[in-house]
Amino acid sequence: MKRLILILMLAALSVAGMATSTKHGAINKGYTALSKPMAFTAADSLVGNGGFHVLTSDSLVVLITNKQDYLQYQTITTTLGYCSGAHAVTITAWGKVTSTDSWHNIGSAVSWTSTSSNPGIITSGTTAKNYNYLRITYVASGATQCVAVLTFDIKTTNIFPYAAVTLTGRMTSIGLTSTGATANLNASSNYATNINTGTSTALTTIGNSLGTVAIASSAWGITAAGAATGLTTVAMAGALSGATNVTASGTITAANFTRKTSPAPFDSTGTITAAKMLRSTIKCVSTSAVTMTTPTATAIAALIPNCGQGTSFELTIDNSGSSSAGAVTLALDASIVQPPAEIITGQKTLTLAIGTVGRFYIYFISGTAAKIYRVF
């Protein structure tokens, strides 16, 4: 009988050496902190040492109920003290959505070896989860030791509440993130409109199958992310800048519109390309006479979107840098003609003496024919 009692006592001591104590807490719905502070007392007895102790190969488990309607970040903060021995405790956190779900690791485990490790902090990182159950464990190593849990706290941060959204029409997708919001909304067809309310330098993009237009909210300007077609009128209070191509079926109106380009060089007799004509300024530096022949009206019109009757542009020929016999004569292709009679004195003069600048106005009467007037 005595031998049996001795065997039972040894077995009890063996189990005690690997005992586990469990502590329970809760975060009430709608809150982000414990409903009451977590206290570790001798009532949480672990092998007679109180639940606030972890000994050789022992585990202390803290279970938190956290039933919320939000995606959350979690932060666990704890401090420990030691009683005796070689201290080595691993603190780990897990979470799960439902009671039958498996545990998922939260953040990185803390390896506590001395009070210099205080406070031990575990954070969930950048991924928010709707964990309704939380589990934090303190596991002592196999070395002889006695470590006490002094404080424990857990805080959660809501990322965004779930809410019903009602939209009239068809919605292809809508998504929300913590750093901003992006929504793809569709009111009439399968073409998305993207709305971004992120950082101050972000672009708001509005578009359909024809292309997109990106509006820079920080600069209060308009830039083209694609081809903006089918526009009737674009009205601006300031300057239109940074645009490569603007295609419109109607009129582009701006309060102040200044076209500034680098002059196209042309220093010997030949035909001007349509691209150089549309640079708006041609510069000649020559010591001998130069004849500049215009391309056809059709060639110029091909580079102007929707060019037709009513389209016009101005051309400046800068001969101020020429010398000696470097006069410039502008010769016209048959598709570009001068009016039969002068309205402004000298308008029919197509020759520029050295050291002078001439300005010409080209007006299209169709996509294949134009008239030219000398302004000065």
Q: List, in order, residues 6 or more apart from 221 with CB less than 8 Å away.
A: 215, 238, 240, 241, 242
Mean pLDDT by 10 residues, the chain (376 residues): 50 49 86 83 52 75 88 90 83 92 92 89 86 91 84 84 48 44 44 44 48 46 44 46 47 50 90 92 95 96 93 94 94 93 77 94 95 91
pLDDT of residue 177: 41
Q: In what order do the strands lie in the sheet with 59-65?
A: 20-26, 59-65, 133-140, 89-96, 104-112
Residue-wise burial string across 297-322, b where 16 or more C-beta atoms lie within 10 A, e elsewhere:
bbbbbeeeeebeeebebebbbbbeeb
Domain locations in the chain? 18-160, 164-254, 264-374
The pLDDT of residue 285:
95
- pLDDT value of position 199: 44
**CA end-to-end distance (rounded Å), the chain:** 128
CATH superfamily of the 18-160 domain: GOLD domain (2.60.120.680)
Q: Is 114 exposed, middle or buried (0-12, 13-18, 19+ CB in 10 A)?
A: exposed
> Distance between CA atoms of 67 and 27, rounded to whole angstroms?
8
- Cis? peptide before 263, omega within 30° of 0: no
Q: What is the pLDDT of residue 260?
A: 59
pTM value is 0.40
- Tell me how crowded residue 279 is: count the other CB atoms within 10 A of its CB: 17
